[in-house]
Amino acid sequence: MNARLDDAAARRAYYDRIAVHSLKPLWEVLAALVPPLPVTEAVPALWRWRDVKPFVAESGSLITAREAERRVLILENPGLPGQSTTTSTMYAGLQLILPGEVAPAHRHTQSALRFVVDGEGAYTAVDGERVTMSPGDFIITPMWTWHDHGNPGDRPVVWLDGLDIAVVRMLGAQFRENHGHESQPVSRPEGDAAARYGSGMLPVDYAPRNGVTPVFCYPYRTSRAALATMADGPRHRCHGIKMRYVNPATGGAPIATIGAFLQWLPKGFAGAPYRCTDGTVFTVVEGAARVELDDRSFDVGPKDTFVIPSWHRHRLHAREDTVLFSFSDRPIQQALHLWREHEGE
Ligand code: 1HN
């Protein structure tokens, strides 16, 4: 029996018959599979510090860091419910560690970054070296490195975690191990990695490892001073003054899968419209700014976190001198020659 070529009922019946053989007609989904422009379910979203801070603090009375393993509130994109992700590829969360607590040592194939948001005096230990955290410090935990956190200080500390969870999930490459000891043994003094690899020199026989930077802490004091020095110079019409964190041994991103940036918007800066294919998580370090998207805008201040999904046109306006930290999957897209950006309307 030949179906009429335009018989919708015959097509539906055919789809039902082939479905039991795990077959699907491409022609019904082709346009959605290969859209003319990026399509993502992720939506622009904002987590104001004043709104989330009480909930972060409250989590401290509900569960210990030990019991939770990591006491974190996921900044879940409202357009991706249930997926524990903030952009289509990047996870962000706010982690709380109270005085006296330890978050036990483990390692996994997901790479992580920390950006210290509130409080100081906690440490994170990476491969045998501890680093004491202060607000604005950018710290990385490369994939498959042992890491644990502790707070020997007298104040709660909160940082933003960024991980490539959805990327590793998509690739089916998730592995994890517990260390067995709550805190990994300390084998190197604090500052060791910075001294060995972070002073514009490298040990003469150093060979880069896994595309991962040997320097794992980028103190805010240093990063901010770099931006401040450049603040009087030429500015990018969209970004103001924007720096990317680098692996000093390669000039590439500090983590193979995650790019991280710090930018300075001078007071009164009115950025030109911009879009790029890497959906990006931003945190305000200092200042006050307005983020204008096509169909919504928000005013942001210190410790607020917001997300701009892929290919969403936006402009940045600075009401005060403003410093923004951000991270995205840009190194992945660039390695695959997929990354695109567009300046202007
Ligand atoms: C993790 O290991 C940390 O080590 C934070 O602090 C957040 C989210 C998902 C999976 C592992 C950490 C995490 C995580």
Nearest Cα to 174, choosing from 113, 111, 110, 112? 110
> If you measure from the C-alpha of residue 241 to the centroid of ligand 1, how many angstroms do you get, rounded to a whole number?
31
Gyration radius from the chain CA atoms? 22
- Would the pLDDT of 2 be above 70? no
Do residues 256 and 250 touch, judged by C-beta distance below 8 A? no
Share of the chain above pLDDT 70, in %: 99
Among candidates 286, 281, 292, which has minimal Cα distance to 326? 281
Instruction: Say how many Å lie between the CA of residue 87 and the centre of ligand 1.
Output: 16
> Helices marked H in 63-110 — which ranges?
65-68
Alpha-carbon gap, residue 82 to 92, rounded angstroms: 14
The mean pLDDT of the chain is 96
Query: Does the Cβ of 112 fall within 6 Å of ligand 1?
Result: yes
What pLDDT sits at residue 65?
95
pLDDT digits (tens, 9 = 90+) for 281-292: 999 999 999 999
Strands (E), 44-135: 45-47, 72-74, 91-97, 102-108, 112-118, 123-126, 129-132
Examine the pLDDT at 46 and tell me if it is beyond 60: yes
Q: For the segment 65-83, what is each residue's pLDDT rounded down to a tens digit?
A: 999 999 999 999 999 999 9
> Could you tell me if 131 and 113 are in contact, meaning their C-beta atoms sit under 8 angstroms apart?
no
Does the C-beta of 158 come closer than 6 Å to ligand 1? no
CB of 163 shorter than 6 A to ligand 1:
yes
Q: Any idea what DSSP says for residue 209?
A: B
Ligand 1: which atom is nearest the Cα of residue 103?
A: 6
CB environment 193-204: b (16+ within 10 A), e (fewer) = bbeebbeeeeee
For residue 282, the SS3 value is strand
* Nearest atom, ligand 1, residue 124 CA: 6
Confidence of residue 211 (pLDDT cuts 50, 70, 90): confident
Instruction: Write phi, then psi, for 308 (nearest 5 degrees).
Output: -120, 110
Query: What average pLDDT does this structure show over 252-260?
Result: 96
70: CA distance to ligand 1 center in Å? 6
Average pLDDT over residues 155-172: 98
pTM recorded for the entire structure: 0.96
**CB 125 less than 6 A from any atom of ligand 1:** no
Tokens in use for 74? 């996921």
Q: Which residues neighbour 78 within 8 Å (Cβ) at sequence distance 6 or greater?
A: 43, 45
Of ligand 1's listed atoms, the one at least distance from the Cα of 148 is 4
CA-closest residue to ligand 1 atom 14: 70
Q: Is 263 left (phi over 0), alpha (psi -120 to 50) or beta?
A: beta
Confidence of residue 210 (pLDDT cuts 50, 70, 90): confident
DSSP symbol at 61: H
- Mean pLDDT to the nearest integer, 132-139: 98
Q: What is the pLDDT of residue 225?
A: 98
Mean pLDDT confidence for 189-201: 95
CA dihedral over 116, 119, 123, 124, signed as positive or negative:
negative
Question: Residue 212 has what pLDDT?
Answer: 84
